[in-house]
Amino acid sequence: MSKRTLVILSLLLIFLLGASVLMNFALVVSAPFRGMSAARAPGNFREIERYAGSRDAKIVHIDIEGMISSMGGSPFVPGSSLIQTKRMLEAAVADPNVKAMVVRINSPGGEVTASDALYHAVKTAASKKPVVIYMDSMAASGGYYIACGGTHLMANETTLTGSIGVIIQALNYKEMFGKVGLNSVVFTSGKFKDMLSPSRDMRPEERVYVQGMVDEMYTRFLGIVAEARSIPVEILKSGIADGRVITGKQALSDGLIDETGYIEAAYKKARELGNAPNGRVVKYGGELGLGQLLGVLGSASTEAGKPTRVELSLGDAPFPKLQPGAVYLLPAHFAL
């Protein structure tokens, strides 16, 4: 790496550090004008006031946004952080001044395990304090799975929800390999080790095995919905739990939610359930620091004989690409 490159990278680092300091300073200075509380919630979350009210009674607003995944959470990459969302729920439960929570979900779903972990976190919080679920533009499949952990489920009439089902996708390029003269050579320790291999046709026993996994996870999903909504499993299986996406209005008619309305109605319901008619609505927020800014930077190329290159990445698409063979709670069109 040349001396000139090192100077440029040093200047870039100083610039980012200065930008981080200025942004945090601006947040602190502007707090009184934006209703931002100087106090911090348990877990060191900054409280941002959305609606004024009692200082001793709070309703906490928590967002679950984008693809549900164990990864993600960068301020510039769509998708909520699994760990941070769980910490926010725990902080709200630990704060004696928090009387209820509103969890806003705007997600098409995502990974099975991540969805199940957030469902468990929401249900655990709801066992301690009321949790009103508000479904925004979309709360389908894994998004609805999480919602089932709440105390009271709400959606807009135009919300897309439902999609109760499980999906695994795999790409097969065997015919393309044959056309270009390529052949895959694989050594395995067992006949299922290269299951879903894209370079060959699936064997009948593999199809049975994969379908069995899908059915097992689908049965779990059905059980969660049946318990949360008091709808028999057989009625779900023979009706709306066939993977279809429905509107909030239809979801109310089918018993998947309790009420339709706007986010303000969700705050009102949370105040009612939390016995805090004048509860102040706050949202948890973190600080945008240098570490988060640097987290979106790509790698620098330092190959011999080539000029040094620094790349900035802001993400590839609104939703991450699905991994072949992974199990998802998603509407089918997200798996294409």
pLDDT band at residue 192 using 50, 70 and 90 as cut-offs: confident
* Catalytic residue chosen out of the listed positions 10, 70, 127, 193: 193
Q: Domains in the chain, start-ordered, CATH in brackets?
A: 3-166+233-335 (3.90.226.10)
Per-residue model confidence as pLDDT tens digits over 288-329: 444 444 444 444 444 455 555 545 444 444 445 566 556 777
Q: Apex CA 64: angle with CA 33 and CA 151, to 5°? A: 100
Contact 98, 54 (CB under 8 A): no
Residue 10 catalytic? no
Distance of CA 124 to the CA centre of its chain: 18
Residue 141 catalytic? yes
* Both tokens assigned to 148: 């089932």
Amino acid 273: pLDDT: 97
* Catalytic residue chosen out of the listed positions 141, 197, 269, 283: 141
Amino acid 309: pLDDT: 53
Amino acid 262: pLDDT: 97
91 against 194, higher pLDDT: 91
* Both tokens assigned to 27: 């947040």
Instruction: Please state, for a pLDDT cut of 90, what percent of the chain lies above it.
Output: 48
131 against 209, higher pLDDT: 131
pTM for the full predicted model: 0.75
* Both tokens assigned to 278: 């004048």
Long-range interactions of 209-214: CB distance < 8 A, separation 24+: 210/168, 213/168, 213/327, 214/166, 214/167, 214/168, 214/327
Averaged pLDDT, 259-263:
97
